[in-house]
């Protein structure tokens, strides 16, 4: 055996493992129930042209360590690979260069596969998938049709992001701060007929289902926030005749005449609020510029106009404002925080305060949320307050902090009221004055319900999922239109509904599929003259939100996946995915899972039982890696210098997997040294039987002290394999008996502790501490070997090699097969069993504190009681130096942990 040269064997084993099909699932038999399974899933990768990044290596290695570990403790591990291969980058590249996306995608997949194999990821390549393959997207389209049949896929006119320069629609994720990510042009909203999936059907279950899964708390919270459930009330405000005089000044409560109710009903405005308890302070209403009431106002024939007197001037102002608001992008509305608005000319009746209040139109109210109309309470809402001040509208304060009466602070209370309602008191609220907000909130709700003007209501921020894309490189939407323009499903026998290839990639503002002659002809041929295809393709998130199901039965041509295969494997036991997928992919996947469950295909509610996010690998400068910053680390370079095992080990050692961590060029050395030292350890062990001891080549760099210690006389080798020199009955003539026994036991004990720790650390994803533990073990073995009165047993060396093998699969395999002459791969060997009897200690050292400060330590027997521990401490001179006259007030003894003496 020579010096550690990973380049001499890593490539060889990488190819050998794949050729041997070492990691393919062979235990998936149709009709059989699977037990003891472990389905490990890594985020579906987009095969980008730039190849593997150090950021991919970390989660891949983590999962690979888990896969190798769980296999060796007897789990039936399934660790599949696939490619999220449709998407915008390949298409953009095609636009630039004319190279068809199918070609670039193939090349990229080949690069990725080679690199992933090279770092030793034990994927099951037999289940490899790509979403751009017709055998895959056939079932993406099938899924669309199932949703369509149930009314969960529908078409609707909707605004989309449009880049006027690129002449194309952009996905939300292509819009960066309101600009096109490619050309920097301002994105505008354009109304188009689009396909949606009705994810809102499952909005409540998408919240409650999170209780079933082991996901990071923050991720669950982000999903909950995204769904944005808020409970409040829907309140009806009746429209009434305008009489501006009524509104002048703030009347006192006494002026209120409950008999005064609006006589000339002309309609109503429904308002959604979560703060109905502030309704007495609602001094005006505001509707969004898109609100339906505006159509009434601007329609000369409408009833509303007949019943009110809105001047023509006012109507002109309204028209002007509406047009202005429409021309603004959503981004512009947000950036300009200055409130704008216009009086509608209408009044409504506040059912609580019994006042007539004006209705305003303003774009700070969002049409899409709630009812597109609000009751404005400028006394306790900051936005309403700004608006009221600007347009000189009345302000009524309805909340007061107990023991405070500072009017200016009332606004800032509003957020706190929801957190601590009992600390605030209602004022200017009729019969509710003096009640706290817990009591008043319920009372006011009841009153409004009794009046028949309000009901409890829940709203959500979650919108249906827009899946249409005016893009080429995606799965075609399997819909055709008859000559009248009515949509029909593509027949199942026509699936896969093939993506045409006769298209030009120049962006024209039209869906690229419109340019395909073949596509049009195909539809007419199959469905009749005058029929046309749907030209849009599906959002690539559709492809990537069900792939984990296809993995379970990836080559099935008749079904999406066998029901029993999905039943056997789902849910995925562990999913590692970047935090950027928290909202979209993970929410969509959960939606599909719930839909397919309801259709009877699946028996699970949630697709991913346990999920964690890998952190980002930052550049050495602690900033995000990017070419422009020049801080990119290329995994190929690291491998060239140190080998794949060092790269793997280093990324795992960096720190907790879910944390962002900077790369350190020097620190990589540490892992390389560790592997070199481990390699050297085995140089002294017996070589393969057919090899002569003398033929072992000397260390290239010369013998170190440590190596000299390792070089044992030839006859020692045979002796080792016969008897156990460390047991009482073993040969011990050359070794001091006391020393060898104690040291041998110490090392064995540490070995078994380490076996235990590495296993449990892997299960807890604490790869960094698992590696530290193995380093400590090696440090200890080396130190003992240096003492020359300890020798390493080959069985123990093998155990050490085995627990290192998930982390450094190449080096351990090379030693295992070449040096130790094993016939089967180390990766099929079982995990070493922990000898618990070795872990039992007879004596322990415990620290002794005096007044909470450690002053010394005593060695005690494992079963010693408090009395004898205290007695032992009182013998120790350094300890009693801190205890005047050996007198103490109190003793705290935590069995086996610590003794604290209070003086």
Partner RNA sequence: GCCGGGGUGGCGGAAUGGCAGACGCGCAACACUUAAAAUGUUGUGAGCUUACGCUUGUGUGGGUUCGACUCCCACCCUCGGCACCA
Which window, 27-35, 303-311, 469-477, 886-894, contacts RNA (CB under 7 A)?
A: 886-894
CB nearer to RNA: pick between 134 and 656: 656
Segment 671-700, which members bind RNA (CB under 7 A)?
671-674, 676-677
Quick check: 662 binds RNA (CB under 7 A)?
yes
Quick check: 221 binds RNA (CB under 7 A)?
yes
Q: What's 86's DSSP letter?
A: -
CB of 178 to RNA, least distance (A): 11
CB of 851 to RNA, least distance (A): 6
CB of 522 to RNA, least distance (A): 39
Query: What are the C-alpha distances in Å from 778 to residues 98, 564, 852?
Result: 56, 46, 35
Query: What are the C-alpha distances in Å from 719 to residues 378, 673, 712, 788?
Result: 92, 31, 11, 17
CB of 63 to RNA, least distance (A): 19
CB of 523 to RNA, least distance (A): 38
CB of 335 to RNA, least distance (A): 9
Please select the residue that binds RNA; options are 366, 859, 862, 871, rule is CB under 7 A: 366
Quick check: 859 binds RNA (CB under 7 A)?
no
Quick check: 857 binds RNA (CB under 7 A)?
yes
Torsion, CA 775, CA 777, CA 782, CA 786, rounded to 10: 140
Rounded Cα distance, 198 and 149, in Å:
12
In terms of residues, how long is the chain? Answer: 903
Half-sphere exposure of 705 (CA within 13 A, CB side): 6
Q: Cα angle at 684 between 650 and 686, to 5 degrees?
A: 115
Quick check: 659 binds RNA (CB under 7 A)?
yes
Which window, 470-478, 545-553, 652-660, 829-837, contacts RNA (CB under 7 A)?
A: 652-660
3-state SS, residue 553: coil
Please select the residue that binds RNA; options are 284, 364, 642, 682, rule is CB under 7 A: 364
Quick check: 772 binds RNA (CB under 7 A)?
yes
Please select the residue that binds RNA; options are 654, 678, 765, 801, rule is CB under 7 A: 654
Please select the residue that binds RNA; options are 183, 334, 711, 903, rule is CB under 7 A: 334
Segment 476-515, which members bind RNA (CB under 7 A)?
none
Quick check: 458 binds RNA (CB under 7 A)?
no
Q: Which residues partner with 343 through β-bridges? A: 360
Q: Are the C-beta atoms of 140 and 538 separated by less than 8 Å?
A: yes
Q: Which residues partner with 893 through β-bridges? A: 899
**Under rule CB under 7 A, how many of the chain's residues touch RNA?**
89
Quick check: 396 binds RNA (CB under 7 A)?
no
Rounded Cα distance, 297 and 294, in Å:
5
Quick check: 541 binds RNA (CB under 7 A)?
no
CB of 337 to RNA, least distance (A): 5
CB nearer to RNA: pick between 92 and 420: 420
Please select the residue that binds RNA; options are 205, 660, 734, 822, rule is CB under 7 A: 660
Site string for RNA, 185-214 (x = CB under 7 A): ------------------------------
Q: Which residues partner with 189 through β-bridges? A: 161
Determine the straight-line distance between the first and last CA of the chain, rounded to whole angstroms.
62
Quick check: 766 binds RNA (CB under 7 A)?
yes
Quick check: 887 binds RNA (CB under 7 A)?
no
Residues 6 or more apart whose Cβ sits within 8 Å of residue 665: 620, 633
Q: Are the C-beta atoms of 858 and 896 separated by less than 8 Å?
A: no
Q: Are the C-beta atoms of 672 and 684 separated by less than 8 Å?
A: no
Rg, Å, the chain Cα set: 36
Query: What are the C-alpha distances in Å from 627 to residues 222, 630, 815?
Result: 31, 5, 39
Segment 599-638, which members bind RNA (CB under 7 A)?
622
Quick check: 461 binds RNA (CB under 7 A)?
yes
Segment 67-96, which members bind RNA (CB under 7 A)?
none
Strand order in the sheet with 843-850: 853-861, 843-850, 898-902, 890-894
Please select the residue that binds RNA; options are 31, 729, 852, 863, rule is CB under 7 A: 852
3-state SS, residue 159: strand
Which window, 77-85, 99-107, 113-121, 360-368, contacts RNA (CB under 7 A)?
A: 360-368
Quick check: 391 binds RNA (CB under 7 A)?
no
Please select the residue that binds RNA; options are 125, 142, 369, 391, rule is CB under 7 A: 369
Please select the residue that binds RNA; options are 666, 715, 836, 885, rule is CB under 7 A: 666
Site string for RNA, 20-59 (x = CB under 7 A): ----------------------------------------
Structure tokens given for 467? 């899946």
Q: Which residues partner with 425 through β-bridges? A: 400, 436
Q: Cα angle at 759 between 664 and 784, to 5 degrees?
A: 75
CB nearer to RNA: pick between 205 and 782: 782
Please select the residue that binds RNA; options are 779, 788, 795, 861, rule is CB under 7 A: 779
Query: What are the C-alpha distances in Å from 453 to residues 234, 268, 377, 447?
Result: 8, 10, 18, 9
CB nearer to RNA: pick between 126 and 662: 662
CB of 274 to RNA, least distance (A): 4
CB nearer to RNA: pick between 519 and 653: 653
CB nearer to RNA: pick between 724 and 782: 782
Quick check: 708 binds RNA (CB under 7 A)?
no
CB nearer to RNA: pick between 126 and 856: 856
Scanning 423-462, the segments in alpha helix (DSSP H) are: 437-451
Quick check: 704 binds RNA (CB under 7 A)?
yes
Tokens 């099951």 locate to 124
Q: Which residues partner with 488 through β-bridges? A: 480
Q: Are strands 572-576 and 608-612 parallel, antiparallel or unpaired?
A: parallel
CB of 208 to RNA, least distance (A): 17
CB of 291 to RNA, least distance (A): 10
CB of 389 to RNA, least distance (A): 13
Rounded Cα distance, 351 and 452, in Å:
10
Closest CA to 670 of 656, 650, 643: 650
Longest dimension (CA), the chain: 116
CB nearer to RNA: pick between 221 and 603: 221
Q: Cα angle at 382 between 297 and 240, to 5 degrees?
A: 30
Which window, 53-61, 199-207, 489-497, 648-656, contacts RNA (CB under 7 A)?
A: 648-656
Tokens 């123990």 locate to 796
Q: What's 177's DSSP letter?
A: T
Quick check: 855 binds RNA (CB under 7 A)?
yes
Quick check: 581 binds RNA (CB under 7 A)?
no
Quick check: 409 binds RNA (CB under 7 A)?
no
Rounded Cα distance, 48 and 90, in Å:
8
Closest CA to 373 of 199, 237, 483: 237
Quick check: 272 binds RNA (CB under 7 A)?
yes
Segment 831-850, which members bind RNA (CB under 7 A)?
845, 847, 849
CB of 26 to RNA, least distance (A): 37
Please select the residue that binds RNA; options are 415, 508, 603, 868, rule is CB under 7 A: 415
Quick check: 230 binds RNA (CB under 7 A)?
yes
Quick check: 854 binds RNA (CB under 7 A)?
yes
Please select the residue that binds RNA; options are 336, 404, 405, 760, rule is CB under 7 A: 336
Rounded Cα distance, 278 and 414, in Å:
10
Q: Which residues partner with 45 through β-bridges? A: 83
Burial of 722 (0-12, 13-18, 19+ CB in 10 A): exposed
Rounded Cα distance, 60 and 63, in Å:
5
Quick check: 288 binds RNA (CB under 7 A)?
yes
CB nearer to RNA: pick between 757 and 817: 757
């Amino acid at each position: 055996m020579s010096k550690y040269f990973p380049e001499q064997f890593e490539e060889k084993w990488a190819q050998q493992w794949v050729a041997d099909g070492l990691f393919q699932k062979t235990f998936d038999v149709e009709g059989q129930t699977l037990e003891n399974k472990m389905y490990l899933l890594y985020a579906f990768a987009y095969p980008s042209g730039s190849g593997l990044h150090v950021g991919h290596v970390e989660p891949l290695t983590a999962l690979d360590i888990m896969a190798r570990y769980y296999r060796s403790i007897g789990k039936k591990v399934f660790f599949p690979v696939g490619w999220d291969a449709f998407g915008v980058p390949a298409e953009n590249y095609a636009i630039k260069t004319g190279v068809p996306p199918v070609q670039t995608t193939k090349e990229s997949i080949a690069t990725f596969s080679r690199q992933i194999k090279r770092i030793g990821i034990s994927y099951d390549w037999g289940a490899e998938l790509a979403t751009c393959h017709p055998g895959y997207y056939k079932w993406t389209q099938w899924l669309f049709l199932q949703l369509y049949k149930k009314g969960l896929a529908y078409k609707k006119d909707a605004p989309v992001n449009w880049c006027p320069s690129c002449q194309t629609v952009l996905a939300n994720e292509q819009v960066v701060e309101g600009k096109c990510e490619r050309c920097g042009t301002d994105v505008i909203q354009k109304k188009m007929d689009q396909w949606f999936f009705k994810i809102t059907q499952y909005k409540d279950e998408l919240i409650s289902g999170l209780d079933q899964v082991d996901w990071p708390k923050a991720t669950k919270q982000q999903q909950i926030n995204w769904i944005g459930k808020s409970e409040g009330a829907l309140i009806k405000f009746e429209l009434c005749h305008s009489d501006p005089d009524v509104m002048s000044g703030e009347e006192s409560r006494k002026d209120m005449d409950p008999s005064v109710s609006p006589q000339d009903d002309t309609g109503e405005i429904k308002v959604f609020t979560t703060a109905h308890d502030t309704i007495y302070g609602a001094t005006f209403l505001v509707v969004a510029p898109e609100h339906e009431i505006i159509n009434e106002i601007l329609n000369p024939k409408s009833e509303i106009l007949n019943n009110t007197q809105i001047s023509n001037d006012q109507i002109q102002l309204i028209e002007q404002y509406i047009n202005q608001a429409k021309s603004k992008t959503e981004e512009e509305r947000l950036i300009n925080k200055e409130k704008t608005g216009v009086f509608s000319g209408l009044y409504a009746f506040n059912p609580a305060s019994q006042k007539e209040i004006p209705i305003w139109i303003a774009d700070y109210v969002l049409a899409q949320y709630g009812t597109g109309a609000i009751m404005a309470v400028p006394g306790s809402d900051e936005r309403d307050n700004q608006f009221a001040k600007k347009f000189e509208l009345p302000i009524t304060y309805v909340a007061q902090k107990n023991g405070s009466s500072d009017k200016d602070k009332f606004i800032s209370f509003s957020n706190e009221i929801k957190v601590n309602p009992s600390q605030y008191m209602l004022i200017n609220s009729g019969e509710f004055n003096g009640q706290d907000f817990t009591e008043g909130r319920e009372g006011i709700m009841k009153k409004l319900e009794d009046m028949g003007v309000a009901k409890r209501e829940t709203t959500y921020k979650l919108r249906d999922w827009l899946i249409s894309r005016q893009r080429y490189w995606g799965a075609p939407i399997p819909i055709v239109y008859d000559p009248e323009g009515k949509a029909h499903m593509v027949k199942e026998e026509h699936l896969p509904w093939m993506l045409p290839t006769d298209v030009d990639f120049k962006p024209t503002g039209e869906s690229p599929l419109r340019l395909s002659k073949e596509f049009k002809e195909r539809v007419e041929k199959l469905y009749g003259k005058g029929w046309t295809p749907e030209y849009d393709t599906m959002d690539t998130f559709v492809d990537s939100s069900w792939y984990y199901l296809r993995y379970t039965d990836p080559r099935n041509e008749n079904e999406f996946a066998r029901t029993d295969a999905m039943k056997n494997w789902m849910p995925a036991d562990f999913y590692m995915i970047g935090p950027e997928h928290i909202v979209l992919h993970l929410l969509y996947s959960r939606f599909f899972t719930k839909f397919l469950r309801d259709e009877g295909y699946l028996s699970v509610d949630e697709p991913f039982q346990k999920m964690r996010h890998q952190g980002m690998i930052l550049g050495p400068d602690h900033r995000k890696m990017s070419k422009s910053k020049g801080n990119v680390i290329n995994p190929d370079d690291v491998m060239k210098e140190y080998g794949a095992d060092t790269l793997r080990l280093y990324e795992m050692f960096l720190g907790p997997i879910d944390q962002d961590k900077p790369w350190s060029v020097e620190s990589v050395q540490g892992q390389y040294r560790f592997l070199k030292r481990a390699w050297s350890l085995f140089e002294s062990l017996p070589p393969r039987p057919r090899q002569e001891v003398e033929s072992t080549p000397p260390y290239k760099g010369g013998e170190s002290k440590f190596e000299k210690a390792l070089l044992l006389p030839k006859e020692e080798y045979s002796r080792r394999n016969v008897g156990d020199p460390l047991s009482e009955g073993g040969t011990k003539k050359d070794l001091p008996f006391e020393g060898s026994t104690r040291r041998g036991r110490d090392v064995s004990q540490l070995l078994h502790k380490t076996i235990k720790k590495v296993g449990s650390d892997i299960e807890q994803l604490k790869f960094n501490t698992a590696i530290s533990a193995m380093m400590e073990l090696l440090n200890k073995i080396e130190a003992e070997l240096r003492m020359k009165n300890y020798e390493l047993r080959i069985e123990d060396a093998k155990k050490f090699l085995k627990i290192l093998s998930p982390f450094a699969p190449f080096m351990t395999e090379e030693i295992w097969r070449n040096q130790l002459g094993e016939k089967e791969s180390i990766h099929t060997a079982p995990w070493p069993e922990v000898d618990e009897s070795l872990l039992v200690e007879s004596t322990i050292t415990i620290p002794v504190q005096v007044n909470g400060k450690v002053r010394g330590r005593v060695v005690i027997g494992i079963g010693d009681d408090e009395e004898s521990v205290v007695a032992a401490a009182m013998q120790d001179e350094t300890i009693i130096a801190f205890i005047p006259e050996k007198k103490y007030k109190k003793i705290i003894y935590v069995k086996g942990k610590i003794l604290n003496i209070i003086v």
